[in-house]
Amino acid sequence: MRIDGISADIEIIRSRRKTMSAEISNDGRVIVRAPMKLANREILRFLTEKSAVIEKHVRKRLAENEKLSETRPFTPEEIRKMADMAAGIIPRRVAYFAELIGVKYGRITIRSQKTRWGSCTARSNLNFNCLLVMTPPEVLDSVVVHELCHILHRDHSSAFYAAVYKVFPEYDRCDKWLKENGRLLIRRMTGE
């Protein structure tokens, strides 16, 4: 399917969901997820209304693909080295910021995750992506602070973000860096 203003193939996937969303696949296709019984005209209207935003993201993904084709994927050995580096750096940053925030944490695990930069379990165990060592140091710190603040607030409420900003006022800038550059790092690791 093609829509004026969108220079990509469009695939519609219907399911029992209640809302409609659009995502851009790694190859630049637009995937629309829609409720089973939603009329085609509603999907068309959604795509037409959102065409400028969708096209912007399609172009961004295609530019990312071009940049990815100019760089080689990380080798398994490089990923292991990054994990070793992360294991030497991240626990020290966690200890430093945990004291500032006033929280206690459990185990720290370094992984080569495909979708997350970090996570915090119900038992306050912390998981971090080894690729964080490839980011600027303040970006790594922003992820550490984010996960530690989840020990205080298990959601993304205003209280959670107040705790993050109290310790790390530059959080938004670092989060933006991850959103703009992080996908490319993850794709270099996964080769996808």
In a domain, 148, yes or no: yes
136, 182: one domain: yes
Segment 58-111, tens digit of pLDDT: 888 888 777 766 678 899 999 999 999 999 999 999 999 999 999 999 999 999
Domain endpoint, select from 53, 70, 87? 70
In a domain, 28, yes or no: yes
96, 165: one domain: yes
137, 178: one domain: yes
Segment 118-172, tens digit of pLDDT: 999 999 999 999 999 999 999 999 999 999 999 999 999 999 999 999 999 999 9
DSSP codes of every residue in 40-77: HHHHHHHHHHTHHHHHHHHHHHHHHHHHHHHSPPPPHH
Segment 10-56, tens digit of pLDDT: 899 999 999 999 998 878 889 999 999 999 999 989 988 888 888 88
- Please identify which residue in the block is written with the tokens 């209304």: 49
- The structure's pTM equals 0.72
What pLDDT does residue 5 have? 65
153, 88: one domain: yes
- Number of structural domains, the chain? 2
66, 39: one domain: yes
Residue 112: CATH number of its domain: 3.30.2010.10
What pLDDT does residue 68 have? 66
Model confidence at 4, pLDDT cuts 50, 70, 90, reads: low
In a domain, 57, yes or no: yes
In a domain, 125, yes or no: yes
91, 182: one domain: yes
In a domain, 164, yes or no: yes
In a domain, 18, yes or no: yes
Closest C-alpha among 24, 94, 99 to residue 58: 24
What pLDDT does residue 106 have? 97
Residue numbers of the domain that contains 98: 76-190
In a domain, 101, yes or no: yes
In a domain, 120, yes or no: yes
| Residues 114 and 189: beta-carbon distance below 8 Å | yes
What pLDDT does residue 149 have? 98
